[in-house]
Amino acid sequence: MGSTSPAVLIPAYGRVDATRRTLAALREEGVVSPILVDDCGTAGGSGLAREFPGLDVVTTDRPVWWTGGIVLGLERALARGDGAFLFFNQDVCVTPGYFERLRETSRRFPEALLGSTVLYAGEPGRVWSAGGKVEWFGRGIRVCHFGAALEELPEEPFAVDWLFGMGTLVTKELLAKIGPPDAARFPMAWGDTDFSLRARGLGVPIVVDPKARLLHEVGPYDARVAGPPSARRYVAWMGDPHHNLSLSSHAEIWRRHGPPGLWPLSLAMRVLVLLANYVRIRLLHPGEGRD
């Protein structure tokens, strides 16, 4: 990554106040030219550019979702001559020293796809994600350290199988090797997972730094924050191609990356896990399910 910060790529749809907090935290850490991809002009890009001089705004005339926003951000960053890129979210804030920690860890693991530790913004001592593991004949694709106390994380960077998009550092050389995220097939959810698994398939090490920390304003998909969904909503999520529970996206991930010849069996096990997970959510978070 060198001595400069990477190009920070921020897909944004609506939620102007959340984006403002994200940009302010980046400015505090010395990032003056992040790239904001304003999806359909809903995210207040022109106004935010006046508030944050140096902000580079790309405005779309059609919905591009998260993955499409990252791809457009990459195109702008490459045209600017940036040599490293940080995939980001509009509802994520960096913590003090974040970029210095990324620089230090990228020097230690120069060939790796490097991920961050994501904490609940409302409960910064608790982990929302720290990379993920693949268990094709177990739980499928799972999140590492979800819900764990911050002090339970390892002290040193550790290997994982895949990364959430927010806080993923990619060098120009790695991007040339892996290719861009697949916005056509995974417009919102799973584009980051597919990108990580493609990298893994090419032999790229995937590493999470437990001390490169982000604060995430977690949305209504998390029962810990918003309460449990109703059964009807949960099933609707499974049918929504833009949701992380999407069965069609699951099927494509399993087809591309699952065990050859046996991926349909593995996928069937994953569907059972998803259904069992709904029961677990309702037991952990009793009360009326929200529609």
- pLDDT at position 227: 80
- pLDDT at position 1: 61
Contact predicate 227/286, CB 8 Å: no
- pLDDT at position 225: 74
Least-confidence region, from 73-77, 133-137, 215-219: 215-219
pLDDT digit string, tens, across residues 220-279: 767 777 788 899 999 999 999 999 999 999 999 999 999 999 999 999 999 999 999 999
pLDDT digit string, tens, across residues 141-176: 999 999 999 999 999 999 999 999 999 999 999 999
Task: Decide if pLDDT at 2 tops 70.
Answer: no
pLDDT digit string, tens, across residues 17-59: 999 999 999 999 999 999 999 999 999 999 999 999 999 999 9
Average pLDDT, the chain: 94
Domains, in order of start, for the chain: 7-218 (3.90.550.60), 224-284 (no CATH)
Q: Which residue has the higher pLDDT, 134 or 226?
A: 134
pLDDT digit string, tens, across residues 168-209: 999 999 999 999 999 999 999 999 999 999 999 999 999 999
- pLDDT at position 228: 85
Task: Decide if pLDDT at 212 tops 90.
Answer: yes
Specify burial of residue 112 (Cβ count, 10 A radius: 0-12, 13-18, 19+): buried
- pLDDT at position 5: 84
